[in-house]
Amino acid sequence: MGKALHRYQMISNGDRILVGVSGGADSLTLMWMLNERLKRVPINYELFAAYIDPGYEGSFGESLEWYGNKIGFSIRVEYTDYGPLAHSPVNRENPCFLCSRLRRKRLFEIADELGCNKLALGHNKDDIIETFFLNICYAGEISTMVPSQTFFQERFTVIRPLAFADEQLIRKFAKDQKFPEFINPCPSANTSKRKEIETFLKQLYRANRKVKGNIFRAMSNVKTDYLLKG
C-alpha cells in the first residue's frame, strides 16, 4: 500500500478522506491500514467511513455499523433501494452497472457533505486486472480503473491504495486480523460478468504463475504503435 500511495501521491497533509466500506475484506483492510498508518507518518489526515446498503433482504448494515464501533471506527450506513431497483424491470441496463453507479454517486454526495476531498476505495490488483478484461470483452475498449483519478473539475480524487496488493494477500491479512465475514446478499453476486472474468483469469493463473504479474505490468507498458487505428 505504501508503494502505491507514494507512487501516485495519493494522500497529502490535511486531506479529509471518505473510505467506501463494503463489508468485504478489501475495504475493512483499507480502513484499518489507513488508520494504522496515521501513527507513523509525518502527515495528518482525517478518516471517515460510509457503507451504502443496497437494500436487499439479509442486509448486514447494522452488524457492520456495530463492528465498526467495536473496533473504533464510526461507519455511516446509508440504506437505499438501489439493488432491487437495478434488478427491476424499469432498469434496462446491466444490474451491476446501475447499482454500482448509484452507490458511487451517493458516496460522492456524502463526501461533499463531510467536506472530504478524497474518496478511498478498496479495489486491489485483481480488481484492476478484471476490469481491464471486462472493458475489452464487454465495452470494446482498452481501459481499467486507475489508482488515482480526479472528478468534477478536480473537486474530488478517488484513490485506490490497495491497487498493488494481491487479493490473496488481503484475504490472509483479514483472516489474521479476525475481520468478520459479511455475506453479500446480492442475487447477482455469483453470476455477474465480473465473476465470469474472475473464473477465467484464475484458470490462467493456475496454468502459469507469471501470468498475473505480466498482465498487470502490460497495462503500464502499452505500445500504441502496435494497436489498430481508431
Q: Is the pLDDT of residue 87 over 80?
A: yes
Closest by Cα among 148, 155, 168 to 4 = 148
Give the pLDDT confidence of 139-177 residue by residue, as tens digits: 999 999 999 999 999 999 999 999 999 999 999 999 999
Give the pLDDT confidence of 27-66 residue by residue, as tens digits: 999 999 999 999 899 999 999 999 999 999 888 999 999 9
Q: Is the pLDDT of residue 191 over 80?
A: no
Q: C-alpha grid cell for residue 90?
A: 424499469
The pLDDT value recorded for residue 54 is: 94
Burial class (CB in 10 A: 0-12, 13-18, 19+), 97: middle
Cβ contact 148:161 at 8 Å: no
Please give, one letter per residue, the 3-state secondary structure of the chain: CHHHHHHCCCCCCCCEEEEECCCCHHHHHHHHHHHHHCCCCCCCCEEEEEEEECCCCCCCHHHHHHHHHHCCCCEEEEECCHHHHHCCCCCCCCHHHHHHHHHHHHHHHHHHHCCCCEEECCCCHHHHHHHHHHHHHHHCCCCCCCCEEEECCCCEEEECCCCCCCHHHHHHHHHHCCCCCCCCCCCCCCCCHHHHHHHHHHHHHHHCCCHHHHHHHHCCCCCHHHCCCC
Residue with cell 471518505: 18
Q: Is the pLDDT of residue 120 over 80?
A: yes
Distance CA 219, CA 215 (A): 7
2-222 fold: Rossmann fold (3.40.50)
Through-space distance between the first and last CA atoms of the chain, rounded to whole angstroms: 36
Give the pLDDT confidence of 95-118 residue by residue, as tens digits: 888 999 999 999 999 999 999 999
How would you classify residue 77: left for phi > 0, otherwise alpha for psi between -120 and 50, otherwise beta? beta
Sketch the domain layout of the chain as residue ranges: 2-222
Q: Helix 193-207 vs helix 125-134: angle between axes, to the nearest 10 degrees?
A: 110
* Average pLDDT of every residue of the chain: 94
